[in-house]
């Protein structure tokens, strides 16, 4: 096989991908049920729903999780070198940690 990948490692990675995809689907389905129940039971306006979704950053979190998993699996397969995986993961960590802002002080303080 290319890049020195054995069939056992390939089977392990395929099984791991399947399990991670199932777990990610369960996570997204659970979040959808929670949000649907919350919006159905609550009396929310369109503006308040948009504000809640903007503050939670769920799509950004899901994208970051998928990028980390994909980079890890590509590194395991030997498609990309270990240094590239480290650079990608450290870039994601810098983005996530650098995006955190300190709480804004109010003008009255």
> Residue 104 above 80 pLDDT?
no
Residue 24 CB burial class (10 angstroms; 0-12, 13-18, ≥19): middle
In the chain, which ranges are continuous DSSP H helix? 7-41, 46-56, 58-77, 82-98
Per-residue pLDDT reduced to its tens digit, 77-93: 778 887 888 888 888 88
User: 0.85 exceeded by the pTM?
Assistant: no
Per-residue pLDDT reduced to its tens digit, 52-72: 777 777 777 777 888 888 888
Give the span between the Cα atoms of 74 and 106, in whole angstroms. Answer: 46
CA angle 82, 84, 6 (to 5 degrees): 40
Per-residue pLDDT reduced to its tens digit, 1-41: 566 778 887 788 788 888 888 988 898 898 888 878 877 77
């Amino acid at each position: 096989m290319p890049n020195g990948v054995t069939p056992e490692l390939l089977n392990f990675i395929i099984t791991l991908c399947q399990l991670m995809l199932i777990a990610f689907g369960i996570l997204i389905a659970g979040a959808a049920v929670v949000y649907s129940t919350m919006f159905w039971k609550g009396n929310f306006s369109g503006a308040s729903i948009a504000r809640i979704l903007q503050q939670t950053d769920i799509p950004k979190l899901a994208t970051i999780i998928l990028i980390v998993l994909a980079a890890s699996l590509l590194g395991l397969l030997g498609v990309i070198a270990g240094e590239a995986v480290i650079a990608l993961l450290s870039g994601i960590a810098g983005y996530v940690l650098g995006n955190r802002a300190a709480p804004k002080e109010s003008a009255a303080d």
